[in-house]
């Protein structure tokens, strides 16, 4: 049996510093693949969407507010639950990578908003439900998130 403490003591220190996995000088950022052909538009336009202030607490939309604001989502993939407390939509993509990239963009925006969707992903399909649990229904944050998701979705 080899005495490991003696073996490690005789090993030169410089050998550790030149190991690629431990040397920060040798770590390179991988080249990112080009966007999927369905996502050719400029994704930097998302910068125009600014999340609502997280310092103010959201309030539940009144019936008239809900009607007015949710009408702006008509004609999109969004549907309103019968009680009006949730928005839900399904998105289908050509493959898993495109679906996952879509979810990643939404996740980054959701972190900035501190408002996270309920969602599921099965291969090329993403199902999303938006509601504000802290107010017990739909809030302006849900509408803003739905608008962002519409912008992020490939056409």
pTM: 0.59
Q: At residue 145, does pLDDT exceed 90?
A: no
Write b or e for each residue in 50-85: b if 16 or more Cβ atoms lie within 10 A of its Cβ, otherwise e: ebbeeeeebebbeeeebeebbeebeeebbebeeeeb
Q: At residue 117, does pLDDT exceed 50?
A: yes
Separation of alpha carbons 92 and 105, rounded Å: 16
pLDDT value, residue 77: 83
For the ranges 66-70, 82-86, 97-101, the lowest mean pLDDT is seen at 66-70
User: Among 34, 153, 52, which Cα is nearest to 110's?
Assistant: 52
SS3 content of the chain, % helix, strand, coil (to 5): 40, 15, 45
pLDDT averaged over every residue in the chain = 70
pLDDT value, residue 45: 40
Cβ–Cβ under 8 Å, residues 94 and 124: yes
pLDDT value, residue 53: 44
Arithmetic mean of pLDDT, 49-64: 59
pLDDT value, residue 10: 53
User: Among 134, 128, 149, 140, which Cα is nearest to 69's?
Assistant: 140
pLDDT tens for residues 130-140? 888 777 777 78
Arithmetic mean of pLDDT, 110-134: 88
Domains parsed from the chain with CATH numbers? 60-152 (3.30.1360.20)
Q: Which residue has the tokens 């998701």?
A: 149
């Amino acid at each position: 049996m080899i005495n490991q403490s003696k073996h490690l003591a005789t090993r030169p220190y410089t050998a550790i510093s030149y190991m690629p996995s431990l040397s920060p000088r040798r770590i390179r950022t991988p080249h990112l693949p080009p966007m999927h052909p369905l996502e050719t538009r400029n994704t930097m336009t998302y910068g125009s969407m600014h999340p609502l202030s997280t310092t103010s607490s959201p309030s539940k939309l009144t019936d008239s507010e809900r009607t007015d604001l949710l009408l702006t989502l008509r004609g999109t993939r969004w549907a309103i639950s019968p009680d009006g407390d949730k928005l839900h939509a399904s998105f289908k993509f050509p493959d898993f990578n495109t679906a996952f990239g879509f979810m990643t963009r939404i996740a980054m925006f959701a972190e900035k908003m501190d408002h996270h969707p309920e969602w599921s992903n099965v291969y090329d399909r993403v199902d999303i439900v938006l509601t504000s649990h802290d107010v017990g229904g739909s809030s302006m944050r849900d509408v803003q998130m739905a608008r962002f998701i519409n912008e992020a979705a490939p056409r």
